[in-house]
Amino acid sequence: MQEQLIDSQIEAKLGSFQELPVLFIGSGFSRRYLGFPDWSSLLEHFARQCNHDNPLAYARYSRQVEIEGSKENLLPRIATLIENDFNRQWYETANSKNLKQNLVQFVKNGGSPFKWFVADFFKKDKFESQDQLLQDELAIFARLANRSIASVITTNYDGLIEHYLSDYKKFVGQEELIFSTVHGVHEIYKIHGCCSQPESIVINENDYIEFGNKKAYLAAKLLTLFVEQPVVFIGYSLQDDNIRNILSEIVNCIDNEKLAILKNRLVFIEWNHGHSEKNEISSHTINFSNTKVLHMTKITVSDYKAVFAGLAKIRSQYDLKILRKLKNDVYEVVTHNRPVEEYRTINLDGESSSDPKTVAGVTLNNSGQSIFIPTPSELYRDIVLDNGGYNPDNLIDQCFELLLKHNSGSLPGYKYISSYSGTLPAYLRDFKAGHIDHFFSKTLRNQRARQPITWNDFLQLMKSESVRAFARFHLIKPEEIKALELKKVLVEIFNQDPDIFEHLEKPHEKTDLKRAIKVLDWLLYGKEKTA
C-alpha cells in the first residue's frame, strides 16, 4: 500500500510540470535495458582484450595511473593507456583477410582501432528485453516520444534512445551541437559521441581535454533548456563527474535568483537496485567550489514505470515533430531570407493523413494568398523516396520558377513536369536533357573516358565508402546506370539518414549526391520524353 502511494506521488510530481521536460540520460539507462557496462567495466573489458584475457590487467593500468598522480582524470588516463596498447597489438596482428573494408578505410583516415571496437561493442540490432517489467517500461518510454519529451541529452554511445525516439533529430558530438542550430524540441544531443560514428566517441585523456576546452560553449547551448524547461536526470550517479562538471558550468552562468527557479525544475532519478520499500521523494543539494549551491528534487525508485507514467501525463497540444519543423523553418526564413520546406497546409495536432517533412516557408502569390514552398533538399529527397506529396500543377505554377532562380537553374524537376496537366510555362521550355551526359561537365566526361568503371565497381565502392562513393559516380559507363538500381542505392542512403544533406561536411559531397539524384530524376521521368 505504501509503495503504491509513493508511486502515485512520483507520478503526480513529474506530471505536474507545465513545460515539456528535457531528459538527461546516462549509462545506467543502457545498463538496465541492454546490460551494457559502466565506464570502468568497459575499460576493464578492453584491458583484458589486449592483455591475453588477464583478469588483473585493468588493476595494473589503474595502479600505473595512481603512481603518475592523475587522480582527477583517472578513467580518461586509464583509457589512454589501454588504447595505446590495444592499437599497438591490433596493428601487429591485423590480418587483411579478416578485416572489414570500412574498418580499413576508417584507420587509413586516421581513426583509432580502439574507438572502432568500442563503437562496435555498443552496436545492437535488437533492443527488446526478455524481462516483462523492462518491456513494460520501454513501451511506456516509447509512448513519450511525440507529446511528452522536449529533447534528450545523453553521454551514452549506444543507439537505445534513438531506437525508441526514432523520429528525433540527432546531434552527435559536442562540436556538432555547438555549431548547429538547435531548437530544443524533438532532438537528441549525444554529447559524448555515438557508436554510429566511432571517431566522435569521447573516452581518452585527449578527448576529455578537448571536451573541457569547449564545455563553456556547450553549457551556453544547454543553458536555455535548463532555464526554460524541467530537466530529469536518469541513469546517473549523483557523484558522476560528467554531470557535476556540466552543472558547474551552467551554474556559473546564472545568478542566485535563477538558481532558485532551477530548484523546482531539476529532478534526479536514482535507482535503488529493486528495493521498492526504499522508494521516496526527497530534496538534494550540490555544493560547488564557487560557493554556489544547487537544490533539486531526488526521486529514488526500484523501477522506472512510475517515472515514465508521470512523464506521460505531460502532453503537448501539438505533435512535437511538426513543432520542430515549424521552429526550424521560421528560423530559416528569418536568417536566410530564402524559401524553405513544405508545400501544403497541415494540422499542428499531427492528425493529418500525410506526414509533412516541413511546415513553414511562406511567401505570397500574385493574389496575396500565402503558399508553402519546399526547399531544394526536400525536392531531392522526394525524387528518391517519393514522399513529398506535392501537387505538380501547384508546384510548377506557383514556386518552382522561384526555386530554380535561387539554385542556379539546377534542380531535379522531370518528376513534376511529367505529371503537369497544363501547357508548360515558358521558364521550363528549355528544361530538358537529351542525353545522360547533360549532367556531367566536359571535365567529368574526359575523366570517365580515361578511367571508366562498371556499375559493379561502383557498388563495391559503396560498401567501403558509402555516400562518398558518389565522387566517382561520373566514371560509370552511362549504359550501365539503370534507374531502378540507382534508386535502390539512393533509397538505402536516405532511409539510413533522411537528413543526409545536412550531415555531409564537404560541398563537393553534396554536389556529387545531388548530381546522381538529378540523373535518377531524368532516367525515371525525363528520358523517354526527351529521347
Residue 95 phi, psi (nearest 5): -115, 120
Work out the end-to-end distance of the chain between its first and last CA atoms, rounded to an integer number of angstroms.
Answer: 79
Q: What is the DSSP string of 161-184?
A: HHHHSTTSEEEEHHHHHHTS---S
Q: How many residues does the chain have?
A: 531
The grid coordinates of residue 384 equal: 528518391
- Please report where in the chains the cell 529521347 appears, as a residue: 531
Residue burial 188-204, b: 16+ Cβ < 10 Å; e: rest: bbbbbbbbbbbebbbbb
CA angle 271, 272, 276 (to 5 degrees): 110
In angstroms, the CA 198 to CA 157 distance is 9
In angstroms, the CA 280 to CA 5 distance is 10
Long-range contacts of 29-32 (CB under 8 A, 24+ apart): 29/154, 29/156, 29/160, 29/161, 29/234, 29/235, 30/156, 30/158, 30/160, 30/235, 31/235, 32/134, 32/235, 32/271, 32/304
Residue burial 372-387, b: 16+ Cβ < 10 Å; e: rest: bbbbbbbbbbbbbeee
Question: Rounded to an integer, what is the distance from CA 339 to the centroid of its chain?
Answer: 25
Q: Can you give the pLDDT at residue 141?
A: 93
Relative to beta strand 231-234, strand 370-372 is: unpaired
In angstroms, the CA 280 to CA 300 distance is 5
Q: What is the dihedral of CA 111, 113, 118, 120, to 10 degrees?
A: 90
Q: Can you give the pLDDT at residue 297?
A: 94
Q: Can you give the pLDDT at residue 472?
A: 95
Which contiguous run of DSSP H or E holds residue 362?
strand 362-364
Per-residue pLDDT 10s for the chain (531 aa) are 577 888 899 999 899 998 999 999 999 999 999 999 999 999 999 999 999 999 999 999 999 999 988 777 899 999 999 999 999 999 998 877 678 888 998 998 899 999 999 999 999 878 878 899 999 999 999 989 878 999 999 999 999 999 999 889 999 998 888 878 888 899 999 999 999 999 999 999 999 999 988 888 888 888 888 888 999 999 998 888 888 888 888 888 888 887 888 888 899 999 988 888 889 999 999 988 767 889 999 999 999 999 999 999 998 877 788 788 777 776 666 555 554 444 444 444 554 444 444 444 444 444 444 456 788 888 999 999 988 888 899 899 988 998 898 888 889 999 999 999 999 999 998 888 889 999 999 999 999 999 999 999 999 999 999 999 999 999 999 999 999 999 999 999 998 888 888 888 788 999 999 999 999 999 999 886 554
Class level of CATH domain 2-32+129-197+212-312? alpha beta
Q: Can you give the pLDDT at residue 367?
A: 45
Question: Rounded to an integer, what is the distance from CA 219 to the centroid of its chain?
Answer: 19
Q: What's the burial of 290, exposed, middle or buried (CB within 10 Å: 0-12/13-18/19+)?
A: exposed
Amino acid at 524: L
Which contiguous run of DSSP H or E holds residue 75?
helix 74-93
In angstroms, the CA 304 to CA 232 distance is 12
Q: Can you give the pLDDT at residue 333?
A: 60
Q: Can you give the pLDDT at residue 352?
A: 45
Contact yes or no for 231/20 (Cβ under 8 A):
no
How many helices, marked H, and strands, marked E, lie in the chain? 26, 10
Contact residues for 305 (Cβ-Cβ < 8 A; gap 6+): 7, 133, 136, 137, 140
Q: Can you give the pLDDT at residue 246?
A: 84
In angstroms, the CA 301 to CA 19 distance is 23
Contact yes or no for 420/396 (Cβ under 8 A):
yes
Model's pTM, two decimal places? 0.65
Q: What is the DSSP string of 216-280?
A: HHHHHHHHHHHHHS-EEEES--TT-HHHHHHHHHHHHTS-HHHHHHHTTTEEEEEE-TT-GGG-E
Q: Can you give the pLDDT at residue 110?
A: 92
Candidates 366, 418, 433, 373; CA nearest to 400 is: 373
Domain ranges of the chain: 2-32+129-197+212-312, 39-121, 320-428, 436-530
Q: Can you give the pLDDT at residue 241?
A: 83
